[in-house]
Amino acid sequence: MESVRAVLVDIDGVLTVSWQPLPGTVEALRRIRDAGLGVVLVTNTTSRTRGSIAAVLGDAGFPVTAEDVLTAPAATAAHLAERRPGARCALLNCGEIAEDLTGVTVLDDGDTGTVPDVVIVGGAGPGFDYAALNRAFAHLQQGARLVAMHRNLYWRTDRGLQLDSGAFLLGLEAAARTEAEVTGKPSRAFFEAALARLGAAPGEALMVGDDIESDVLAAQRAGLTGVLVRTGKYLPETHRNASGTPDHVIDSFADLPGLLGL
């Protein structure tokens, strides 16, 4: 695959599970970087900032810095700055991500006197209780726009598959009769932002992920080559019932250097 200049890589389920490296992934990423290929880690993770992600991965031996990471919260901040500058936002998310929401005005949950312009839905967790969801629903009924960092239904941890915010997002959309603007994967703009960092064209890049729809097929629709790994949230039945066919399927990210001929 001599035309490949850039590699986009999902983190959770591809390089790590519960932030612990999967076998062979550290060495595989080192080989890819040593070969001179550009790398961007593209993640819908909403529980950590770019800096904390890079620190955790660096401690595990991965050759990455914060500049190598593009998160859904950072993409959301860029989206709002371009499309809705100055918007007052209500944030429904589990995890501290303020550092990646540069320039975004986030209202306090206790501020009942201000109607937000935008409801931002991030990653699910214990904070996605009835009160929080109902508060978001009330804002949407009052005219707030709905922006979602992703549509993931679940992700894999060391305790197995865990429910994610995409399941709740479907309910909010149906109840409020609206459709969310998605800023992370599978948004085409998210892949384009990653490619822009590397100065690469879609035809020169691979996207490696464990989510066949949001990672792989979405990237293929944006013109990238898609590589599905059989780790993380990968399920054979999801693969069989997918809306398309991945360009490549490998057992693990550890097998990617071999696919690239490195």
Mean pLDDT of 195-220: 96
In Å, the largest CA–CA distance within the chain is: 60
Question: Taking the domains of the chain in order of start, what are their residue ranges?
Answer: 6-44+185-260, 85-182
pLDDT of residue 257: 97
6-44+185-260 CATH: 3.40.50.1000
Share of the chain above pLDDT 90, in %: 79
Which pLDDT does position 42 carry in this prediction?
A: 96
Q: How many CA atoms lie within 13 A of 177 on its CB side?
A: 3
* Residue 156 scores a pLDDT above 90: no
Q: Which CATH architecture has domain 85-182?
A: 3-Layer(aba) Sandwich (3.40)
Q: Can you tell me the distance from the alpha carbon of 262 to that of 259, in angstroms, rounded to the nearest whole number? A: 8
Query: Which 8-state DSSP code applies to residue 224?
Result: P
End-to-end CA distance of the chain: 10
What pLDDT, on a 0 to 100 scale, did the predictor assign at position 242? 97
pLDDT at 150 over 80: yes
Task: Count other Cβ atoms within 10 Å, centred on residue 110.
Answer: 6
Exposure letters 125-144 (e unless 16+ CB within 10 A, then b): bebbeeebbebbeebbeeeb
Contacts of 130 (CB under 8 A, 6+ apart): none
For residue 29, give the nearest of 65, 82, 1, 77 by alpha carbon: 65
- Give the pLDDT of residue 98: 86
Distance CA 23, CA 232 (A): 12
Q: What is the mean pLDDT of the chain?
A: 93
Give the tens place of pLDDT for each residue, 163-200: 899 999 999 999 999 999 999 899 998 999 999 999 99
2, pLDDT greater than 80 = no
The pLDDT of residue 37 is 97
* Domains 6-44+185-260 and 85-182 fall in the same CATH topology: yes
For 93-145, the pLDDT digits (tens) are 988 888 889 899 999 877 777 889 999 999 898 889 999 999 999 999 999 99
- 227 with 259: CB under 8 angstroms? yes
